[in-house]
Structure 1
Amino acid sequence: MLDFHRDGYAVLPDLLTPAEVEALRAETAALCRGDRGPVDGVTPASPDEPDDDVIRRYLCVHHPHKLSSVMAAAQRHPAVVSVLTNVIGPDVKAMQSMLFVKADGKPGQAWHQDEFFIPTRDRSLTAVWVALDDATVDNGCLWVLPGSHRPGVIYPNREHDDPRWDCTAESYGFPYRDADAVPVEVPAGSAVVFNGYLLHRSLPNTGPRGFRRALVNHYMSASSLLPWGKAPAGGHFAEADYRDVVLVAGTDPYAYKGVEDLSHPGIRPDREGGCDR
């Protein structure tokens, strides 16, 4: 994983078999139809509506592993765990999953660092971005700024009104140019693993009618606290520990705290439905 430590990302070719990719695509349709349970923002589809028409209504489903055993199994996939234990260490927990659909015409996401949104602060935060379609420049693949993770700086964020991006805030004030960015085109079944401090973005899907589906899971060291959310009543933020987690490797030193069910599957806002600002 020399490239990962130097550049902040690496490509894992052929992580999933074609059958595994197809199973995840089928689960994408089932989730967007409401067949796996309630997803905030999803309207159950009629039986005669084609799958493609249903899923193109949405941009991204957050926490699909909560409803889909297939998505949950992918989060703990042996090939993924093997890479994570090499990058993070022997004890690894997951705290989030995101299922991007991004049909033609849907927006991308502006420059950002995952560490800004998921404050692990121990530099163990790692994303595994699994392509369920061939990800190309035309349909909105990932773009990265190689090496931008190395300073360990979390850059400021701001709201924006750029129609190319969804409602997520954008990072700014960093010493890199768009000209330094590299597109990460990967075939379906391959994955991109990247550090939580790496600046990355994706452009809109401007390709012909079709999707750029991707399953993204976030992981960190199970030996570290996760101060995600508000501090406990009467306590300090530094003592907070988000416990809606899944142990995927090793042991959890904080298992005595138990596990909570805090998150619920929901749709990420794009700009068509407004950004609630």
Structure 2
Amino acid sequence: MQDTSTTTADPQRERTYRDRGYVIAPGLITPDETAMLRHEAGRIGRGELGGVEGLTPAAGDATDDEASRQFLCVHFPHKMSPVFRSFLAHPRIVTILTELVGPDVKAMQSMLFTKAEGRPGQAWHQDEFWIPTRDRSLTGVWIALDDATVENGCLWALPGSHRRGVLYPDREHEDERFDCTVESYGFPYRDSDAVPLEVEAGDVVFFNGYLLHRSLPNTGRHGMRRALVNHYMNANSVLPWQTVPAGTHIGKWDYRDIVLVAGEDPYAYRGTPDLSTPMVRPEREGGCHR
């Protein structure tokens, strides 16, 4: 992605991230860029970029907003959209990532959330539970494509909950406010300790993989809470994530379907096989399989 602007280094930003487990970069993405990403979400909903496992495309004449209501979350949209792939390595985002993670950074996942009216949130969880790293470098980048408010289901975080580096146990739940993913429990925090991360479209939240966070349903009467969420880690650590097909160089101990966004990849000789495919995340509306 061509970009002539710069992001100034900010020592306070890194201190805030280390202390709270998250930091917000206001206005990092321009209005034109957020509009482009919203349009690309509509193209996915209409099936213009190819099939997505679990998604029934909207009619070809559906607007971007109408088409985006076809799903709650699509995993790996960067595999079907050059636009979403380019945002994995957005220069202003990468500048901050190199402050927080280090000079060598790789991405392994993208997720496109749309969360229309009445759609569920996700219960308390830690991203490192889903994407284990060996060096605790997992970093989520949450790009707001709409204003995210308490009413429409913004993120909530438990500040400082990352610092112990503890992965708390998980369990299935029957809370209708949340989608089908499991919830973390047994941690020494109360819901009243949480703070809402209300942000405007174009703001970007950087958060640690051990940070406990959740989102509540969109209770607004109209409008979506769209966000593009990408995950990164230090490229010098292997990624023991998912089950890698037999015959790959290092088997399940290093997931190599990654995109290098900064610096060098010391494991480049292992290649980058194409393993993940776009899919829709299950939600409660007939989608939970217990």
| TM-score higher than 0.5 | yes
1:262 pairs with one of 275, 281, 284: 275
What does residue range 1-277 of structure 1 map to in structure 2 within 5 Å? Answer: 1-230=14-243, 240-277=253-290
Paired letter, 1:89: G
Q: For 2:218, what is the secondary structure of its paired residue?
A: coil
Q: For 1:275, what is the secondary structure of its paired residue?
A: coil
| 1:41-86 deviation per Cα after TM superposition (whole angstroms, max 9, x unaligned) | 1223322333322221210011000111111111110011001111
Preserved CA contact (<8 Å) 1:227 1:238: no
Q: Percent identity?
A: 65
Q: For 2:135, what is the secondary structure of its paired residue?
A: coil
Preserved CA contact (<8 Å) 1:152 1:197: yes
| 1:135-178 deviation per Cα after TM superposition (whole angstroms, max 9, x unaligned) | 00000000000000000000001111111000110000000000
Q: CA deviation at 1:209?
A: 1.1
* C-alpha distance in structure 2 between counterparts of 1:126 and 1:210, whole Å: 28
Number of aligned pairs?
A: 276
Unaligned runs of 5+ in 2: 1-13
Moved over 3 A (4+): 230-235
* C-alpha distance in structure 1 between counterparts of 2:60 and 2:126, whole Å: 39
* C-alpha distance in structure 1 between counterparts of 2:43 and 2:147, whole Å: 21
TM-score normalized by the length of structure 1:
0.96
Residues 232, 270 of structure 1: alpha-carbon distance in 2 compared, 3 angstrom cutoff: closer
Q: CA deviation at 1:231?
A: 7.0
Preserved CA contact (<8 Å) 1:33 1:42: no
Q: For 2:86, what is the secondary structure of its paired residue?
A: helix
* C-alpha distance in structure 1 between counterparts of 2:244 and 2:78, whole Å: 26
Paired letter, 1:181: A
Residues 251, 57 of structure 1: alpha-carbon distance in 2 compared, 3 angstrom cutoff: same
Q: CA deviation at 1:219?
A: 0.1
| 1:245-265 deviation per Cα after TM superposition (whole angstroms, max 9, x unaligned) | 000000100000000111100
* C-alpha distance in structure 2 between counterparts of 1:245 and 1:95, whole Å: 5
Q: For 1:93, what is the secondary structure of its paired residue?
A: strand
Q: RMSD of aligned C-alpha atoms? A: 1.6
Q: CA deviation at 1:121?
A: 3.1
* C-alpha distance in structure 2 between counterparts of 1:258 and 1:4, whole Å: 32
